[in-house]
Structure formats: structure tokens, C-alpha cells
């Protein structure tokens, strides 16, 4: 009995290794408060990009779900979409994160009619109350125009691309674990406003993982005593976060593709060459996205450590050593170094300076101190 319990508990412990996105609490107790969404790895990758030589004005009209799929549940197909319909908002946020707003000037085009209506209201109000017959360019300047239009959308959502599980039971005690993987695909392209040419186009994918672990018991523990118990837990990766990461990766890839085709350039040429080389290796399959992420995190930690050391070096007090002759010392005795509030290295230097500052005469012929000659003789 005990061996079976230990065996099943060990299987359930394997499921405990599955990462969760939130702390579990009993229903109705300690309700979670709204929090600010944590940064994703791809979002940090965009923010750490070096600035561009000149920001590119871009317009995003629509970035929609082009799969047409509905969410499937155990009861059957529902009317809910399988993918988030807020792709345009996610894309505009990713464009602003690129280089911390140093890569793109994002222009509002999704709700352009609302913007034009509001500007028309301003013109009518100024005409009625201020008597203006012409638009004042200082009060209502013209809208900015974009040189590049970004378009695309979610082009694929494949369910159950990878499924599996494991289970075991003994004498009415069992444990099981299951997993499933879905895949979302995003396409993004840049179109020139002047010529209508498609300048660059990229496609990225992101897997969505789901895990389930559970166990139960069904056996007699005594005469007319039946034990029946069951427990389980399921963890699903949020679809919205997976879509966000896929879009952010698409923006990063589009920047690298444009830099490779010399559509735009990085202000730091050396850093830009390094990023472009790593992107080519990832595109050709020489390295994985996980390896690039780990290398980027190591580089960030190294830079923070160097900045911290430089900051500490600037704050280190100046080393000052004052030498004064002692009143009780004989003329032939070395000078005493007066050291106050100095670090250990400065103290050692002061001691060495005191040992070399002896007033014994030197032999001009040899250029060194003559040990046979004493002061006062």
C-alpha cells in the first residue's frame, strides 16, 4: 500500500515541474489583484535594439486574424475565435518598443475616420466662436504621412501539433500526465507608399503548450470501506501572450531584413553588424532562438556589471599621502607618512614611499645610497 502511494506521488511530482503563470489559491480566498503584464523575452529583445539613424514613419491600417478558426472545446465548436482579434494593437505596441521608440514613428490609421471627425469638430468650433474662415496651421497642423505601410496578420493556427502523455496504476491507485502543443503563425510585410513595392516580408511561429497532471485512488481499505479520490491540475499557456511574442519576433525580423537590404540602418554600425550576423545564423538554422536569448541575457548582465564597476571607480575617493617630518625623529631617520582614511592599497603605497624617503646621502658616483655614510658623522 505505502509503496503504491509513494510511486504515484512521485509521478504527480513530475507534473509539479510544469511552470505556471500564476499562483494557485483556493476558490474564493485571496483573490488576485490586477497587475501590470511582465515583459516577455522578445519584448526585451526589441527594447535593447540600438537606435536607428533616422526613425521610419509607418502606418498600420489592419493586422487581423486571417485564419477564420473558432475555438474548439470538449462540448464542440464555439462562437469564440481561436486567436485574439487585437493583433493591430499588439503590433503598434511592438513597433514602439523597438529601440525604445527610436526605430518607428507609428501613425494612427486603424481608426482614421474617428480622428478625421474630431478634427472636423475642431474646425467648426473655431469657425463659430473665433470667426476663422481658414484653418489655423498652428492650432490644427496637418497630419503626418507615412513612408511605409505595415500589413499582414495571423495566417495560421494549428491545434494539437504535438500530443502525448503517460500514466501508471497499481492496486487501484493511478497517476497520469498529458500534454498538447498548438502553433500560431504570423506574417508581416512592409510596403512602400511611393511605389507600392513590397520591401520586405517575414513569417514567424510560436508554440502554445498545455499540460495536465492528475491522479486518483479507488480501492477497498477495509471491510465495506471503499476509498475513492481524484485530483488534477491543468496549465495552459495564454494564447494572447503567444501571439504577442510571435508579433514581436516578426517586428525584430523585419528590422533585420530591412537592415540587410539597406532600407534603413543602425546608428551604431558595429553593433548593427553583430546583430545582423546573429540574425542570419538564426534564419539559416545554425543557432536557435533560445541560444540567442541566452547570449543576449549574458551580454546584458555583462554590460550592467561593467557600468556598475565604472560607476564605483568614479566614486572612489582620491588617494592623498602627506609626508611630514617627525619632531622627535633624528635627522637621519626616515620621514613618517601621515595617512588618514585611505584604502588598503593607498596605505601600502604610503609605506613604500616612506621606506624610500630616507635622508641618507647618496654616492654620486654610484647613484645609490651609501650604507657606510651616516648622517651627523
Give tens-digit pLDDT for 209-239. Answer: 999 999 998 887 777 788 788 889 999 988 8
Residues 296 and 207 in one domain: yes
**pLDDT exceeds cutoff 50 at 57:** yes
The pLDDT assigned to 29 comes to 58
Long-range residue pairs from 334-342, CB within 8 A, at least 24 positions apart, any chain: 334/358, 334/359, 335/359, 341/317
Lowest-confidence region among 115-119, 130-134, 229-233: 130-134
- Beta bridge mates, 255: none
Check whether residue 295 and residue 349 sit in a common domain.
no
Total structural domains in the chain? 2
Range of the domain at 326: 318-357
List, for residues 296-314, the tens digit of each pLDDT value. Answer: 777 778 877 888 888 777 6
Candidates 102, 80, 206, 112; CA nearest to 154 is 206
Query: What average pLDDT score do residues 258-278 get?
Result: 90
| pLDDT score of 344 | 41
Q: Tell me if 32 is assigned to some domain.
A: no
- What is the spatial distance between Cα 154 and Cα 365, in angstroms, rounded to a whole number? 90
User: Residues 258, 329: one domain?
Assistant: no
30: in domain: no
* Cell 502523455 belongs to residue: 165
Residue 254 lies in a domain: yes
- Determine, yes or no, domain membership for 104: yes
| Residue 355 pLDDT > 50 | no
- Shared domain for 292 and 348, answered yes or no, is no
pLDDT of residue 151: 93
Q: Is the pLDDT of residue 15 over 60?
A: no
Residue 153: its pLDDT value, please?
Answer: 92
Report yes or no on 156 lying in a domain: yes
350 and 212 within one domain = no
Claim to verify: residue 222 and residue 255 sit in the same structural domain: yes
**Neighbour-count burial for 174-206, b at 16+ CB within 10 Å, e otherwise:** bbbbbbbbbbbbbbbbbbeeeeeeebbbbebeb
In the predicted model, what is the mean pLDDT of residues 308-336?
Answer: 54
Query: Are 182 and 279 found together in one domain?
Result: yes
Instruction: Give the CATH number for residue 234.
Output: 3.40.50.10610
- Residue 357 backbone dihedrals phi, psi, to 5 degrees: -95, 30
Q: Is residue 295 left, alpha or beta, with left meaning phi > 0 and alpha meaning psi from -120 to 50?
A: alpha
In terms of pLDDT, which residue wins out, 114 or 317?
114
Is residue 231 domain-shared with residue 91, that is, in the same domain? Answer: yes
pTM equals 0.70
Are 377 and 360 in contact, with CB atoms under 8 Å apart? no
φ/ψ bin of 50: left (φ > 0), alpha (ψ from -120 to 50), beta (otherwise): beta
> Looking at the structure, do residues 58 and 168 belong to the same domain, yes or no?
yes
**Is there a domain that residue 336 lies in?**
yes
Q: Does residue 283 fall inside a structural domain?
A: yes
Give a yes or no: residue 338 inside a domain: yes
Indicate whether 248 and 284 sit together in one domain: yes
**How much is the pLDDT for 21?**
45
Answer yes or no: do 296 and 325 share one domain.
Answer: no
Sequence-separated (6 or more) residues with CB below 8 Å from residue 290: none
pLDDT digits (tens, 9 = 90+) for 142-168: 999 999 999 999 999 888 888 999 998
User: Does position 8 have pLDDT exceeding 70, yes or no?
Assistant: no
Q: What is the residue-averaged pLDDT of the chain?
A: 77
| DSSP state letter for 165 | E
Asked if 348 and 234 sit in the same domain, the reply is no
Amino acid at each position: 500500500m505505502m509503496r503504491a502511494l509513494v510511486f504515484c506521488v512521485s509521478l504527480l511530482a513530475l507534473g509539479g515541474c510544469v511552470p505556471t503563470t500564476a499562483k494557485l489559491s483556493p476558490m474564493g480566498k485571496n483573490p488576485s489583484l490586477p497587475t501590470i503584464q511582465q515583459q516577455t523575452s522578445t519584448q526585451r529583445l526589441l527594447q535593447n535594439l540600438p537606435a536607428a539613424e533616422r526613425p521610419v514613419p509607418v502606418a498600420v491600417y489592419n493586422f487581423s486574424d486571417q485564419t477564420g478558426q473558432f475555438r474548439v472545446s470538449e462540448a464542440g465548436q464555439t462562437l469564440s475565435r481561436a486567436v485574439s482579434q487585437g493583433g493591430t494593437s499588439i503590433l503598434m505596441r511592438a513597433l514602439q518598443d523597438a529601440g525604445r521608440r527610436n526605430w518607428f514613428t507609428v501613425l494612427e490609421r486603424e481608426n482614421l475616420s474617428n480622428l478625421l471627425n474630431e478634427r472636423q469638430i475642431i474646425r467648426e468650433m473655431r469657425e463659430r466662436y473665433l470667426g476663422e474662415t481658414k484653418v489655423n496651421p498652428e492650432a490644427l497642423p496637418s497630419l503626418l504621412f507615412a513612408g511605409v505601410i505595415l500589413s499582414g496578420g495571423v495566417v495560421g493556427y494549428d491545434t494539437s501539433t504535438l500530443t502525448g502523455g503517460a500514466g501508471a496504476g497499481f492496486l487501484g491507485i493511478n497517476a497520469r500526465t498529458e500534454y498538447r502543443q498548438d502553433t500560431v503563425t504570423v506574417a508581416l510585410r512592409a510596403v512602400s507608399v511611393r511605389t507600392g513595392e513590397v520591401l520586405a516580408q517575414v513569417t514567424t511561429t510560436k508554440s502554445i503548450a498545455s499540460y495536465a497532471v492528475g491522479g486518483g485512488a479507488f480501492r477497498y481499505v477495509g471491510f465495506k470501506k471503499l476509498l475513492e479520490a481524484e485530483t488534477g491540475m491543468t496549465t495552459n499557456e495564454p494564447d494572447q501572450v503567444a501571439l504577442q511574442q510571435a508579433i514581436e519576433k516578426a517586428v525584430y525580423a523585419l528590422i533585420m531584413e530591412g537592415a540587410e537590404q539597406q532600407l534603413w540602418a543602425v546608428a551604431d554600425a558595429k553593433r548593427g553588424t553583430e546583430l545582423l550576423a546573429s540574425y542570419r545564423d538564426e534564419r539559416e538554422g545554425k543557432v536557435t532562438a533560445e541560444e540567442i536569448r541566452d547570449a543576449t541575457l549574458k551580454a546584458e548582465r555583462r554590460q550592467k556589471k561593467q557600468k556598475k564597476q565604472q560607476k564605483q571607480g568614479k566614486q572612489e575617493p582620491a588617494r592623498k599621502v602627506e609626508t611630514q617630518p617627525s619632531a622627535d625623529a633624528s635627522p637621519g631617520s626616515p620621514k613618517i607618512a601621515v595617512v588618514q582614511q585611505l584604502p588598503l592599497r593607498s596605505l601600502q603605497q604610503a609605506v613604500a614611499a616612506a621606506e624610500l624617503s630616507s635622508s641618507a646621502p647618496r654616492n654620486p658616483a654610484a647613484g645609490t645610497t651609501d650604507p657606510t655614510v651616516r648622517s651627523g658623522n
